[in-house]
Structure 1
Amino acid sequence: MPKKRKPHGRDEVMASVLEAASELFANKGVAGVSVRDIAAKAGVNHGLIHRHFGSKEVLRRQTQEKLSADLIGEMGPGSSFEETMSMAWAALLKHDAYWRVLARTLLDGKWQGEIQSDFPFVDLAVQMAKKEQEQGRVIEDADPKMIVAGIMAMALGLEVFQDYILTAAKLKDGDPLETKANILNFWRNLIKLKEEPLE
């Protein structure tokens, strides 16, 4: 097996470090990973991490933002609020490092400053919810931010605590993906969104 080429140049080093940090933070949490661990996995000298990122906290935030950008890039533009939320859930399932790093960061309580610098998907979802309220497709007497927050809480909660939730609610017998989709469809009905059939 040929030896893997070490990354060279700023862009290659940063990309390799972010990829290594994504995997390690997702599996062990930010607190459980050292800069040297990340450097070893990325195939770079640990001094390069300090040079290009400054600190482990800056690396953590840039890792979260890269994972967020990957998630959004997977989605593409939705034509409706419901389609956007469905695509977001599908992307969330595919890019589990995003929510794993996020959950570990929050549970460890070791971050400083902002979790992310901005939240473009949430801003878009709120705008789309408000637009569909105006068209009568979404319940009108609810704050669109609350609608989006509720859907996010349900989707992220189902991913992070899936085994506990499905076991406790005695929903473990069926296909987990279909069960979670049915739970999210139930939320759609509560806010008066048309339910789409499962694929």
Structure 2
Amino acid sequence: MPELRPVFSTIDARDKLLEAALSAFAEMGFHGATIRDIAQRAGVSQGLISHHFGDKERLWTIVGERVSEDFLDFVSSEIRTDVMDAETIPRVLAAYMDYWQAHPSALRLYLWRVLGAPEGERRARAERLNSHFVPIFQRAQQAGFIRDDIPAGQAMTTAGGLIQYRLHSRLEMDSAITTVGDSSPTDEEFLRYVCGLIAPLPGHVSTR
């Protein structure tokens, strides 16, 4: 089932090519995937990929941009980030988890980025997403809904990193939790735990 939303005309093969590229990159990473394999997955010639998207690095960048835009659209459809209340950050984190659970190839692409991919694309993606989400966490700090003794970006990456770990290392996490007989939390319980880690500290006086 395709993960990327179609954006091109139905009469050309570009959406099909991007979906094939996402599949190949998610499976083998930037260095392991080849234009030949992507062409075979899409059922087109290698020349058609070069014609539409240029080289492999450009194709990787375009796929990453599409994933980022799909992610932003998904989160925006789930919550109103222009309204700040006590449930804004929990809703953001729930939408974050829901997106990655529904888009496993996009999650694998993200992990391959961390393991090794063109640095320029990684930096551009980080700046694009951080410029959207870090201000939301900063506003939540200013409103007193999350702790303000750490940078807003640190609060965001702490919560997001734990959610990412749960998704890609669920087996290891469940094994650690159940080793001494405890039960693994549900997604809702886990999100409450994550939110608790970035909740305001009792008795702390804001210095921001």
- 8 Å CA contact 1:81–1:125 kept in 2: the answer is no
Q: Deviations over 1:122-166 (max 9, x none)?
A: 322211111121111111212101001111211111112221222
SS at match of 2:153: helix
Q: Deviations over 1:104-124 (max 9, x none)?
A: 2332x2435322633444322
Deviation at 1:74, TM superposition (A): 2.0
2:65 matched to which residue of 1? 65
1:160 matched to which residue of 2? 168
- Within 2, Cα distance between the matches of 1:164 and 1:186? 18
Q: Percent identity?
A: 23
Q: What TM-score, normalized by structure 1, do the two folds share? A: 0.79
SS at match of 1:12: coil
Change in 2 beyond 3 A, CA 1:70/1:173: farther
1:36 matched to which residue of 2? 36
CA RMSD of aligned residues (A): 2.7
Q: What TM-score, normalized by structure 2, do the two folds share? A: 0.76
Which runs of structure 2 are paired with 1:40-59 in the superposition (5 Å)? 40-59=40-59
Change in 2 beyond 3 A, CA 1:174/1:23: farther
Residue 147 (structure 1) aligned with residue 158 (structure 2): no
- Within 2, Cα distance between the matches of 1:68 and 1:154? 19
Q: Deviations over 1:28-73 (max 9, x none)?
A: 3333321011011112210121222221111112111212222222
SS at match of 1:115: helix
- Within 2, Cα distance between the matches of 1:135 and 1:112? 35
Residue 185 (structure 1) aligned with residue 170 (structure 2): no
- Within 2, Cα distance between the matches of 1:61 and 1:52? 13
Q: Of 59, 64, 85, which residue of structure 1 is paired with 2:93?
A: 85
- Which has the larger displacement, 68-77 or 154-163? 68-77
2:83 matched to which residue of 1? none
State how many pairs are aligned.
Answer: 183
- Within 1, Cα distance between the matches of 2:166 and 2:146? 23
- Which has the larger displacement, 137-146 or 163-172? 163-172
- Which has the larger displacement, 64-73 or 142-151? 64-73
Q: Of 127, 137, 141, which residue of structure 2 is paired with 1:129?
A: 137
- Within 2, Cα distance between the matches of 1:102 and 1:132? 26
Change in 2 beyond 3 A, CA 1:90/1:39: same
- Within 2, Cα distance between the matches of 1:85 and 1:11? 37
SS at match of 2:64: helix
- 8 Å CA contact 1:26–1:104 kept in 2: the answer is yes
